[in-house]
Structure 1
Amino acid sequence: MIHLPRLLFAAPMSGSGKTTITAGLIAALRQRGLRIAPFKCGPDYIDPGYHTLAAGRPCHNLDSWLIPPDQIAGVLVRRSADADLALIEGVMGLFDGYAGDDDTGSSAHIARLTATPVIIVLDARAMARTAAALIAGLRDFDRRVKIGGVILNRVGSPRHAALVQQAIEQTVGVPVLGYLLRNEMLTLPERHLGLVPVAEPGRWQEWLDEAAQRVATTIDLDRLLAVATTAPPLIAPPLEPLVSSNSGPRPLIAVARDEAFNFIYPDNLDLLQAAGAEVAFFSPLHDTALPSGTAAIYLCGGFPELFAAQLSANQAMLTAIREAAASGMPIYAECGGLMYLTETLIDLQGQAFAMVGVLPGHSRMTPRLTLGYRTVTAQTDSWLWRVGETVRGHEFHYSVWEARPTDLPPLYACLPDAMRPQPASEGVAIGQTLASYIHLHFLACPYVAERFVAAASTFSQTQR
């Protein structure tokens, strides 16, 4: 059993200020000299960037739909091994998960799996006594979830905070641990897929310093830490270590990372390295060549549509990736990576920009969001998959792949679910290039990392 002080910050709904308060608390507690292990519930790529900045160490996702639930506590323990405290940001509303009758993947599910006390972040800007009714409902909906306290967000004044605190504490008995006043300086910029990633230029450190200062002023950090210590010892079976089957030189996998491409789970990179790969980052925006010795390419998701002109102007990199694909180098692309590999990217204004062109057709931005968890089955044997293998993933995008030839072999079949009752083809396998809108978390399928490295090693040997 492992004693790990920990808290999970949840809310009644999205947009309540969980990211701001969680990042501010991480930074404020780090200023006290504490080592904070940050986590994020769900499949999100963007919010973890803020917590990584605040903690000075990677933020890891806890997603009990993508990752087998019996592994969640093990991930929490492993990634907190040298930390004094684990702070977890929830996802959407406290009980919002896979479906209306299934809270798998929700903040509440993670709290139950890890026996973590929950702190409710309540946007109280337009309420007073009614706040107590909301907290009572959240507390009583599932008594297996321990509500350890409340933080009031966006209150109008200290007096407003005191009114809400009195209502909650006297009628519900849940402690209010502090508040944040409404302040435009704490409002983070947003766009179509959520907050703006910290990988892009911005006032991120200034914002974080402001959040930390305000959190430390009006939230009782000592009481918060006391609640964290009430978390019971964790019983977590150790995660099975990934043993590399690669006995030769470590093949180099080039991973796209810059302002346009940064949607990747740290666990995926760790598993590739554990499987025997050397990981090197490159920028499709700024670099003119792939890293020397590249034996495979990982094009992750991101916002290529916002940098389409710069990506299109970098002809040297477009040519390098085109030539890599023609040479039979293994290329794996997710979402934004798929868009980059098409012939043309068309933005919302209808302007077209030439891309790599390995995939025929074009990617077009639309006003319609496609999102959700997906269960997919491999439709073809490849260096990554065997026909019939099934894995869970997710998609989150506004673009569509148009003018795709009908005879291209799909990479996956998306299985029907409550939201999409009809099966659908997804992605493509062309030569050694595998591309899809589906994002994968390799902890759900660690053998994928081994196969990725094996394919890179095979390609490397053919180039000697």
Structure 2
Amino acid sequence: STADLARLIEAPVILIINTGNMTRSIAPLILGFKNFEPDVNIAGVILNKVSGPRHESKLRAAIERYCDVEVVGAIPRSSEIGIIQRHLGLKPAKEDEAAMATIASIGTLIESHVDLDKLVNIAKAARILPEIAAAAAAHPTPTVRIGIARDRAFTFYYPENIEALEAAGAELVPFSPMYDEHLPLDLNGLYIGGGFPEVFMGELEDNRSIREQIRIAVEAGMPVYAECGGLMYLARGISWEGITREMVGGIPCDILMHEKPKGHGYIKLTTTGDSWMKSDIEITGHEFHYSEVVNLGDVKFAYKLSRGKGLDGRNDGIVYRNTLASYAHLHSLGAPQWADEFVALIKHIGNL
């Protein structure tokens, strides 16, 4: 959490409070935060969504009387700077052409209503952290070409995972399941990450040519790694709000969307050895999905769960031919071997 990180590096905390429908009650709220974990240094407060000067003055008076903390700024309520939210949280910036303009507007508002000099001075009170030499990034000559799905439907990739694959000898070649008619040439594997295929399932269904190419690649044994949104795309179809759209059909299952999350939070997995990952390795990851796998055929599983929902509360990671598709989002620090083992599989399958 933010509090844990601030405690670890001994950094001051700026508490940002949504002040809607609040006046004097802001004081016990701040005091609660200050007293709950006294070793967390709450050094300043920013009042957010302030309805006007009178509201701000009441908030400041309560804080001055009861709380030993500085007010760093007061941001007025505004309908022009909101960021669109939907299931799974904020709308990804890559989907919103106006994202940078919104960010610029927020910056202008902050500059006008927050004492940035005071904010910087508070930040200067943080402990100076020891210098740590950065590890030299490995950039071997690529030996395999992995197609990576990147468009508005597939946006969720940890940069460290990309770096881990490149360090293992992979060249990442982007393609769009929404708009490209063909996969890039001379690919040895596919990486289909997280995203919102349900939002764009009409466009994904319409691109029949690339769906068929991916299905043929899966059946031919091309190594494929897919996470969450990638799993949904590889399924036979997605059903959401009474509408069903065809997807790749690369793995024997269907996807059913729900109104509430079916899995959310940290996930702990143990590899089974039925995929290209070595067996009995404990790894950690994260899941956040409103979808559910239904009508699952006879498949093997890559993981046993000790925490999380996964596919059915016990298993995650559908293994079909050389495809591994799971709800778990892995990070290269939580599963440090996955990139090397995926590239090793690609080399073995392709005799590279």
Q: Per the shorter chain, which TM-score range?
A: over 0.9
Structure 1 CA distance for aligned equivalents of residues 9 and 163 of structure 2: 23
Preserved contact between residue 274 and residue 319 of structure 2 (Cα < 8 Å): no
* Secondary structure, counterpart of 1:372 in structure 2: strand
- Which residue, 290, 297, 314 being the options, matches 2:207? 314
2:59 is matched with which residue?
164
Structure 2 counterpart SS, 1:231: coil
Residue equivalent to 1:128: 23
Cα deviation for residue 115 of structure 1 reads: 2.4
Match of 2:98 among 185, 191, 203: 203
Contact 2:9–2:127 (CA under 8 A) maintained in structure 1: no
Partner of 1:411: 302
Q: How many Å separate the matches in 2 of 1:222 and 1:173?
A: 20
Distance in structure 2 (CA, Å) of the matches to 1:430 and 1:130: 56
User: Amino acid of the residue matched to residue 161 of structure 2?
Assistant: N
Deviations 1:25-56 (A, max 9, x none): xxxxxxxxxxxxxxxxxxxxxxxxxxxxxxxx
Q: How does 1:375-394 map to 2 (within 5 A)?
A: 375-383=268-276, 385-394=277-286
**Map of 2:188 onto structure 1:** 295
Give runs of aligned pairs for residues 245-324 of structure 1, distance below 5 A: 249-324=142-217
Q: Is the 8 A contact 2:275 2:301 kept in 1?
A: no
The Cα shift of 1:240 comes to 6.1
How far the C-alpha of 1:460 sits from its partner, in A, is 4.3
Query: Of the candidates 352, 362, 366, which is equivalent to residue 254 of structure 2?
Result: 362
CA distance in 2 between counterparts of 1:416 and 1:277 reads 31
Within the candidate set 14, 39, 42, 1:119 is matched to 14
Offset of residue 398 of structure 1: 0.9
CA distance in 2, matches of 1:373, 1:334: 15
2:85 matches 1:190: yes
Structure 2 unmatched runs, 5+:
none
Normalised by the size of structure 1, how large is the TM-score? 0.71
Which letter maps to 2:348?
T
Cα offsets for 1:175-201 (capped at 9, x unmatched): 110011011112222111112111113
Counterpart of 2:38 in structure 1 is: 143
Alignment-mate amino acid for residue 177 of structure 1: V
Q: Is the 8 A contact 1:252 1:277 kept in 2?
A: yes
Identity of aligned residues (%): 37
Q: Distance in 2 between matches of 1:409 and 1:118?
A: 47
Query: Is 2:149–2:177's contact at 8 Å kept on the other side of the alignment?
Result: yes
More moved, 263-272 vs 108-117: 108-117
Deviations 1:118-170 (A, max 9, x none): 11110112112211211111112112211121110001113322321232233
Shift of 1:242: 7.0
**C-alpha spacing 1:148/1:126, structure 2 compared with 1 (3 Å):** same
CA-CA distance at 1:202 after TM superposition: 3.9
Q: Which has the higher contact order (CA 8 A, sep 6+)?
A: 1
Aligned length: 350
The answer (yes or no) to whether the contact 1:413–1:423 under 8 Å persists in 2 is no
* Alignment-derived partner of residue 42 in structure 1: none
Q: CA–CA distance in 2 between the matches of 1:455 and 1:115? A: 44
Q: Report how far residue 338 of structure 1 moved.
A: 0.5
| SS of equivalent residue, structure 1 residue 391 | strand
Q: CA deviation at 1:222?
A: 0.8
Q: CA deviation at 1:249?
A: 4.0
- The Cα of 1:236 is off from its aligned counterpart by 6.6
Corresponding residue to 1:446 among 319, 322, 336: 336
| 1:89-111 deviation line (CA, Å, top 9, x unaligned) | xxxxxxxxxxxxxxxxx221122
1:440 Cα deviation (Å)? 0.9
Contact 2:142-2:166 at 8 Å conserved across structures? no
The CA RMSD over aligned residues, in Å, is 2.2
Is 1:346–2:239 an aligned residue pair?
yes
Q: Identify unmatched segments of 5+ residues in structure 1.
A: 1-105
1:108 aligns with 2:3: yes
Cα separation, partners in 2 of 1:240 and 1:125, compared to 1, 3 Å = same
CA distance, structure 2, for counterparts of residue 196 and residue 320 of structure 1: 29
Q: TM-score, normalised by structure 2?
A: 0.93
